[in-house]
Homo-oligomer: A and B are copies of this chain.
């Protein structure tokens, strides 16, 4: 995850501003602007939490488990838009660190309820602080009312 050579990718962002390159249609597309901001946010977030393989996806999973203890893996997969195998592997990751445990569901012994361990709760607290900071950094050029405006417009699109 550390890319520090000549062609480092973490910071590799399209360059709209400088030099003589005209972005043509891309510069007129809302989707392209969204992509640029997404890359920037992903970069901030990754830098904030990248300890031994913690990625935005993996954090999202831990957060969902923390807020909704007992969800099954299929429910988690659907909520986050992942395949069931990907979900299974993500839970393996957190279980291997002792942050999460699978408890067999009494009423349906095919499925597990996923829960945070005490360790997991502590880790999640620490991660949340850093994630918040990264998200604040992303919007640091906007005032509070502008952030609300932006969030509102984005929500109108995907809701």
Interface residues of A (CB under 8 A from B): 7, 9, 12-17, 19-26, 29-31, 33-42, 44-45, 60, 63-64, 66-68, 71, 75, 78-84, 128, 131-132, 134-135, 138-139, 141-142, 146-147, 149-151, 153-159
Contacts and interface: CB of A to CB of B under 8 A. Distances in A.
22 contacts: A7-B84, A9-B83, A13-B158, A15-B81, A19-B75, A19-B79, A21-B75, A22-B68, A23-B67, A23-B79, A25-B63, A29-B135, A30-B151, A31-B42, A31-B45, A31-B134, A33-B154, A34-B34, A34-B41, A36-B158, A139-B157, A150-B153
A158 B33 contact: yes
A79 B25 contact: no
A21 to B, nearest CB: 4
A155 B33 contact: yes
